[in-house]
Amino acid sequence: MTVPQPPAPLPGARLLFSLDPAVSQLNHGAFGTVPLPVQRAQQRLRDEMEANPHRFFSRGLVERLGHARRHLAGFLGADPEGSALVGNTTTGVAVVLQSLRLRPGDEVLITDHCYGAVALSVHRECQRTGASSRVLPVPLSATDEEIVESFRAGLRPGRTRLLVVDQLTSATARLFPVAAIVGVAREQGVPVLVDAAHVPGMLPVTVESIGADFWVGNLHKWGFAPRGTALLAVRPPWRERIEPLTVSWEQESGFPARVEWQATLDYTGWLAAPVGVYTLRNLGVERVREHNAALAAYGQRVVGDALGVAPTHLPDPGGPAVAMRLIPLPPGMATTVETAKALRDRIADRLATELAVMAWGGRGWLRLCGQVYNSAEEYERLAVRLPPLLAQR
């Protein structure tokens, strides 16, 4: 089988970023990268804040935050009045968990694809309240129909107080049929929290149509927002039950202001976040999505071939629209979180390449991303240099 051709670069896109040209950044999904126009917009806001902090914080900031939220919610198809800006997806998850007021005998159900920090948050809240957590295994090769049925069988009505499910998983780049899963859970009376950390900007989404009780996604990954920008959307029956992690002066204002207002945070990232959406739209949202997904698929094939992985063994659990791809590592390599991090750092130090190394399902995986600042040559260079490095183990 021939290797697919890489997509043509988007003219001028690389110049929008202040990345070190000596390093290949193939892990956009981890921390995102803030375009220069967004950096400058945030710096202007910081200058305004430092010129007169009292005026910045005490006159109209709540309204400005509401304006930014409405812009971002509109981009994601969420109800602006039923959404709140939060620092990241894990913060949104923590807000929901502590608002549920779990009790002994309650259960939170997650999957084995769950993001590590989210799983730790669930575990901590269950320990604190006397509830329990349970992990539902979902095979990487499962079809959408099989996934939905596994959730149908795995829920325990009357005991399962919350189902936490990824829309697009971090560890495995698996796209879950969340709308269908939400439908099954609603039949059984189980609320659903959708972790959509990687969705905003990468995939088209209409949050309202998913119907989840809680949905939270980062805009600082694929939405070009400053880091620390996420949106938590909450269905109407739950809104007045949502409590912030820290009580501040907007507590009596209700949701979403009581969650957004956290005293003297640096709100400039949230205020500048709409410029990230504007930058994405200027490039062409669909054009960026198609480019990134095609580039990630090309990188997966080139690097996979270099590692001797047959094309039929290169997983594609997210489908053609996902800009993150997995490559299985040789058996026995990077099978734990610790050894995966060590390999990631060795690749970064010796090959000047930042990528994700994941330990999942008893084996190690490389996760490659595609973004408009990447080039086909970066994956080709990695394909040449990575096999000798792995052979040194």
pLDDT tens digits, 86-122: 999 999 999 999 999 999 999 999 999 999 999 999 9
pLDDT at 2 over 70: no
pLDDT in tens, 252-291: 999 999 999 998 999 999 999 999 999 999 999 999 999 9
Domain membership of residue 1 (yes or no) is no
User: For the residues 333-346, what does the mean pLDDT come to?
Assistant: 97
What per-residue confidence (pLDDT) applies to 1?
55
pLDDT in tens, 150-161: 999 999 999 999
Reduced to 3 states, what is the DSSP secondary structure of residue 344? helix
> How far is C-alpha 115 from the geometric centre of its chain's CA atoms?
9
pLDDT in tens, 303-322: 999 999 999 999 988 889 99
Taking CA atoms, 370 is separated from 4, 10, 292, 319, in Å, by 15, 13, 5, 14
Range of the domain at 230: 38-278
- Regarding whether 196 and 342 lie in a shared domain, the answer is no
Domain membership of residue 138 (yes or no) is yes
What per-residue confidence (pLDDT) applies to 4?
77
Domain membership of residue 127 (yes or no) is yes
Rg (CA), the chain: 21
> How far is C-alpha 61 from the geometric centre of its chain's CA atoms?
27
What per-residue confidence (pLDDT) applies to 11?
94
CATH number of the domain that residue 307 is part of: 3.90.1150.10
Split at pLDDT 50, 70, 90, the class of 75 is very high
- Regarding whether 383 and 246 lie in a shared domain, the answer is no
Side chain identity at residue 297, one-letter code: A
CATH number of the domain that residue 197 is part of: 3.40.640.10
Q: In this structure, are residues 56 and 202 in contact, taking their beta carbons and an 8 Å threshold?
A: no
pLDDT at 393 over 70: no
